[in-house]
């Protein structure tokens, strides 16, 4: 793509400066809102986008504040569990809750001078019809109304089935996504640990590592259809672990990319996603950026960052938040706003660390196209 070429989608056209931003990674949704229209970044030795899971307005606001203060574009994402939570304990509809959170993001992002992409996290085969399909239909309706898609990318996690079945489902979903200008993230190999009730902690260790053969097969199956991101696994484990407890092998990404490029050329280098990164050393994290990682999920660490100041607030104001020995407590202490503001700010500070770790701080392309 040349520097004077233009990317077109729907009702907008976005100039692409190949000298400044050498590789298109995500071509996302609409102007004039700050849900990113075209989000691009360098591949090798560059930076990656932090992708934070949100469940509520305070978590969305904390993420947006962090990206804005870091001058970093970023990704806000919703899991099936997060969507179900957002819909309320009575409704318990993951897709409906995800739509609510996404619409809130579309409105709130307009207040910030950074670009935000919306994504959905792990969707396993049994939830495609109840979660992913309704969200694609919601995007289809928005596009028919002259708007961009609701989400700019979705993840299908077929790692629970064999690769042949995984890719068969992925190909069908990618075709549907591509028709809507949406990117599909896929996974081959399993991320260990537990997330959103899905537990893979008992898997054999070899299942945690994607092979070069797998990476070639994924590329050859999906590349002709549309834009995709690939969550290749290299020992990743969901959850919180002490440094050194998880044995990451970033070289797996290097070797897999080499196998793909040896067969299909340098342009075949894939855009990779890093899951299960809590406790990762800075050297391992930065090494993955050299091998094509463009997105890293942040969930466990921000959950802790959000919860920690709430616990402190409760401990420091125990006689105010509880009605003890016939007393009435203190309204300003148990008002949820008093501790949720602290939680939002703490989450924000943790996300700013993630932006620094992934070298996205100061890299926003807002206003540069």
Cite the active site residues.
121
Q: If we measure between CA atoms, which residue out of 52, 81, 34 comes closest to residue 353?
A: 52
DSSP-assigned letters across all residues of 302-334 = HHHHHHHHHHHHHHHTHHHHS--TT----HHHH
Spatial separation of the C-alpha atoms in residues 301 and 290, rounded to whole Å = 23
Query: What one-character-per-residue DSSP string does 214-263 give?
Result: HHHHHHHHHTTT--EEEEE-BS-BSS---TTSS---THHHHHHHHHHHHH
- b/e 226-246 (16+ beta carbons within 10 angstroms → b): bbbbbbbbbbbbbbeeeeeeb
* Cis ω for the linkage preceding 32 (within 30 of 0): yes
Angle, CA 244 vertex, CA 240 and CA 249 arms, to 5°? 100
Say how far apart CA 188 and CA 214 lie, in whole Å.
7
Q: 117 has which bridge partners?
A: 75
For the chain, the straight-line distance linking the first and the last C-alpha, in angstroms and rounded, comes to 15
| Dist CA 26 CA 32 (whole Å) | 17
Which pair of structure tokens corresponds to residue 195?
């997330």
- φ/ψ of residue 25, rounded to 5: -110, -55
Which residues have a Cβ under 8 Å from the Cβ of 315 and sit 6 or more positions away?
none
Supply 111's token pair.
């207040």
What is the signed CA dihedral for 246, 251, 254, 260, rounded to 10 degrees? -90
Report the C-alpha gap between 101 and 150 in whole angstroms. Answer: 10
The answer to whether 275 touches 231, Cβ cutoff 8 Å, is: yes
């Amino acid at each position: 793509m040349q520097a004077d070429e233009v990317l077109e989608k729907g009702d907008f056209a976005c100039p692409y400066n190949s000298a400044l931003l050498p590789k298109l990674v995500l071509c996302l949704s609409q102007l004039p809102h700050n849900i990113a229209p075209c989000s691009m970044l360098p591949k090798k030795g560059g930076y990656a986008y932090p992708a934070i899971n949100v469940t509520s307005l305070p978590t969305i606001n904390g993420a947006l504040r962090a990206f804005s203060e870091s001058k970093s574009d970023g990704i806000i994402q919703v899991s099936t569990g997060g969507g179900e939570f957002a819909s309320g304990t009575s409704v318990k509809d993951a897709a409906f809750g995800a739509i609510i959170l996404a619409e809130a993001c579309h409105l709130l992002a307009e207040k910030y001078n950074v670009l935000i992409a919306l994504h959905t996290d792990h969707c396993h085969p049994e939830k495609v019809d109840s979660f992913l399909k309704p969200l694609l239909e919601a995007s289809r309706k928005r596009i028919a109304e002259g708007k961009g898609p609701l989400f700019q990318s979705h993840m299908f996690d077929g790692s629970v089935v064999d690769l042949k079945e995984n890719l068969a489902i992925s190909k069908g979903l990618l075709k549907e996504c591509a028709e809507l200008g949406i990117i599909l993230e896929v996974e081959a190999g399993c991320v260990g640990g537990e997330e959103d009730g899905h537990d893979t902690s008992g898997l054999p260790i070899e299942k945690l590592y994607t092979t070069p053969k797998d990476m070639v097969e994924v590329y050859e199956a999906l590349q002709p259809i549309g834009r995709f991101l690939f969550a290749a696994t290299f020992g990743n484990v969901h959850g919180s672990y002490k440094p050194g407890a998880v044995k990451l092998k970033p070289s797996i990404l290097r070797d897999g990319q080499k196998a793909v490029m040896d067969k299909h050329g340098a342009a075949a280098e894939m855009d990779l996603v890093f899951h299960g990164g809590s406790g990762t050393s800075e050297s391992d994290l930065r090494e993955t950026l050299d091998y094509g990682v463009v997105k890293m999920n942040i969930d466990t660490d921000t959950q802790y960052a959000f919860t920690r100041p709430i616990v402190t607030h409760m401990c420091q104001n125990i006689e105010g938040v509880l009605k003890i020995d016939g007393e009435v407590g203190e309204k300003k202490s148990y008002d949820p706003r008093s501790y949720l503001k602290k939680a939002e700010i703490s989450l924000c500070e943790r996300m700013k660390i993630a932006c620094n770790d992934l070298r996205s701080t100061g890299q926003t392309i807002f206003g540069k196209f």
